[in-house]
Amino acid sequence: EPEVTQTPSHQVTQMGQEVILRCVPISNHLYFYWYRQILGQKVEFLVSFYNNEISEKSEIFDDQFSVERPDGSNFTLKIRSTKLEDSAMYFCASTGGGARTGELFFGEGSRLTVL
Amino acid sequence: GEDVEQSLFLSVREGDSSVINCTYTDSSSTYLYWYKQEPGAGLQLLTYIFSNMDMKQDQRLTVLLNKKDKHLSLRIADTQTGDSAIYFCAERLNMRFGAGTRLTVKP
């Protein structure tokens, strides 16, 4: 069964460092998403991406965040200068259906710990 | 703005039914989802209901949708210890999640 894969599963970094979280969406999917879940809290939408550009972003997705689809398979989330409060589980998701109707498939998440 | 609300905790005994409730604000959502998250794991889609339905049954799971009240519920029949997890409801239009309901099943 096709699945969304994320790497790394866990990354520990020092405050102020840059981090890149990688995702390989399901191959024929067109819409990609990043979500964040701070430990014990709700799953929060960060950004959606379609046709090589951001289609929607939340207020959390400020200038320190960026997304990219550098090739035909990877979808990355970059955090330029990490802060302690960026420590969270980051989930990537993709859908092949409509932007607002297709089932979202989630990866297992990348846990980011900022020290 | 759009919001999805859930109660945070539910505790039941093994074999009982569990009912997890959710309310949402955006009436134009096409699909409403229930996701399950086990400790340290990702989000697993359990079931979903299309907005023109009021009930969907899938083995031990029953989803009820009251569109007028914007209320969604997930009933788990014969709850097992393996059902202990956090359950998130989500509305598809904006793909917003509730805070999650932590279900604890006691033997």
Q: What is the DSSP-derived secondary structure letter of residue A85? A: G
Q: Is A33 on the interface with B (CB under 8 A)?
A: yes
Give A99 to chain B, closest Cα distance, Å: 8
Model confidence band, residue A68 (pLDDT cutoffs 50, 70, 90): very high
Averaged pLDDT, A76-97? 93
* Mean pLDDT (chain B, rounded): 90
Q: What are the pLDDT digits (tens) for A14-28?
A: 999 999 999 999 988
Residue A115 has pLDDT above 60, yes or no: yes
Mean pLDDT over the full length of chain A = 91
Residue A104: predicted pLDDT: 81
Query: pLDDT digit string (tens) for B21-69?
Result: 999 887 777 788 999 998 878 888 899 898 888 999 999 999 999 989 9
| Interchain contact, A106 vs B31, CB within 8 Å | no
Burial class (CB in 10 A: 0-12, 13-18, 19+), B22: buried
Mean pLDDT confidence for B72-92: 94
Question: Does B95 have pLDDT greater than 70?
Answer: yes
Distance in Å, alpha carbon of B101 to nearest chain A alpha carbon: 10
When CB atoms are compared, the residue of B30, B41, B45 closest to A100 is B30
Instruction: Give B16→chain A minimum CA distance, Å.
Output: 26
- For A19, residues 6+ apart whose C-beta sits below 8 A from its C-beta are A11, A13, A78, A79, A82, A86, A112
Cα B24 from Cα B40, distance rounded (Å): 26
pLDDT grade for A99, boundaries at 50, 70 and 90: low
Cβ–Cβ below 8 Å for A100 and B42: no
User: Do A81 and A64 form a contact (C-beta atoms < 8 A)?
Assistant: yes
* Residue B93 contacts A, CB cutoff 8 Å: yes
Of A33, A105, A107, the CB nearest to B95: A33
- Spell out where chain B has E strands: 4-6, 9-13, 18-24, 31-37, 44-50, 55-58, 61-66, 71-76, 85-91, 96-97, 101-106
What pLDDT sits at residue B57?
94
Nearest CA-CA partner of B72 in B85, B86, B90, B58: B90
**What is the DSSP secondary structure assignment for residue A33, as one 8-state letter?**
E
Predicted confidence band of residue A83 (pLDDT cuts 50, 70, 90): very high
**DSSP state, residue A26:** -
